[in-house]
Amino acid sequence: MYTRIFLLIIFILCQRIDAQHKKSYIFFEADPAIEVKFFAKKNRKSKEVEPIERNLFMFNNQNPCWVEFDTKLIAIDLRRYKKDAFFNVKLEVNKESTGIVYKYKRGDVIRIDDRCKSEQCNVLTIEFPQIISLENGYHTISNDVFTKYILD
């Protein structure tokens, strides 16, 4: 009897830790400032994700997410970065866009994935904020909003 209860408690605790580990946060900005909808489920037909606070969305990093603006959908696939919990994303909108250029920035390293066939493209920059430890807790260098959501 006690063995079953003990195993059940262990199972429940492991599930909660796993669920917490999968939480990720995107701080999303657009230049020029435009209204966007953020979807972070298994398919594009999912319900819109409401921001936790201005420009900040929480999502499960195990699935791709989408941003919709002007009836266009842009996929943001961050599944290869499962160990990262924080993503600073900026979309530079070109009204005459024919495609998209993805820029990935981690520290001084920048990787560019250019899927655009012309010079008139939307540019999606995905930055991985560095987390630093200070005397009074953990912080990020590039985005102060994330500091509230870093777990000790």
Q: What is the pLDDT of residues 45-90, one digit of tens each?
A: 677 888 998 889 988 878 888 888 888 888 888 888 888 888 999 9
Question: How close are the terminal C-alpha atoms of the chain, in Å?
Answer: 35
* Residue 16 located in a structural domain: no
pTM: 0.74
* Residue 90 located in a structural domain: yes
What is the CB-side half-sphere exposure of residue 141 using CA atoms within 13 A? 8
3-state secondary structure of 109: strand
Please state, in angstroms and rounded to a whole number, the distance separating the CA atoms of residues 124 and 64.
15
* Residue 12 located in a structural domain: no
Q: What is the pLDDT of residues 10-41, one digit of tens each?
A: 666 665 444 444 688 999 999 888 888 888 76
* Residue 11 located in a structural domain: no
* Residue 109 located in a structural domain: yes
Number of folded domains in the chain?
A: 1
Please state, in angstroms and rounded to a whole number, the distance separating the CA atoms of residues 78 and 25.
11
